[in-house]
Amino acid sequence: MSLHSTRGANYWSRLPVTRMDLTIGAYEKISSADVPGFTQSLVAAMPGLRDHRCSIGEPGGFIVRLKRGTYCAHVVEHVALELQGMIGHDVGYGRTRGGDSVGDYTLIFEHRHEAVGLRAAALALETVQDAFAGTLESVDHAVAELRALGETSELPPLIQHILCGITGGSHRSETRDELVRLGFNSRELIVDVSPSYILQAGLPYSHSDIAVILDSNLTDVPDYYRVRRRADRLVTVVADAVAEGGLVIVPAKSWEIQDLVRDAGCRVAIFATDDDVTSKDKKVARASATVEGRRILIEEFDKSFEAGWVHDKAPVDAQVAATLAAFTLNELQPAGDMSGYERENGDRSATHSGDRAGVAD
Judged by DSSP in three states, 359 sits in: coil
Q: Residue 344 pLDDT > 70, yes or no?
A: no
110, 112, 117, 119 alpha-carbon torsion, rounded to 10°: -160
* pLDDT over 60 (residue 338): no
DSSP classification of residue 103: T
- 293 pLDDT more than 60: yes
Q: What is the per-residue DSSP string for 217-267?
A: --SSS-GGGTSHHHHHHHHGGGGGGEEEEEEEEEETT-HHHHHHHHHTT-E
Q: How far apart are CA 51 and CA 355, in angstroms?
A: 56
pTM of the predicted model as reported, rounded to 2 decimal places: 0.81
pLDDT bracket for residue 356 (50, 70, 90): very low
Whether the CB-CB separation of 234 and 214 falls below 8 Å is answered with no
CA distances, 256 to each of 121, 136, 228 (Å): 33, 47, 9
Summarize pLDDT for 89-139 with one digit per residue, the tens: 999 999 999 988 888 999 999 999 999 999 999 999 999 999 999 999 999
Q: At what angle do helices 316-332 and 172-181 cross, to 10 degrees?
A: 50
pLDDT averaged over every residue in the chain: 89
Which pLDDT does position 340 carry in this prediction?
47
pLDDT digits over 48-95, tens only? 999 999 988 899 999 999 999 999 999 999 999 999 999 999 999 999
Contact 45/38 with Cβ under 8 angstroms? no
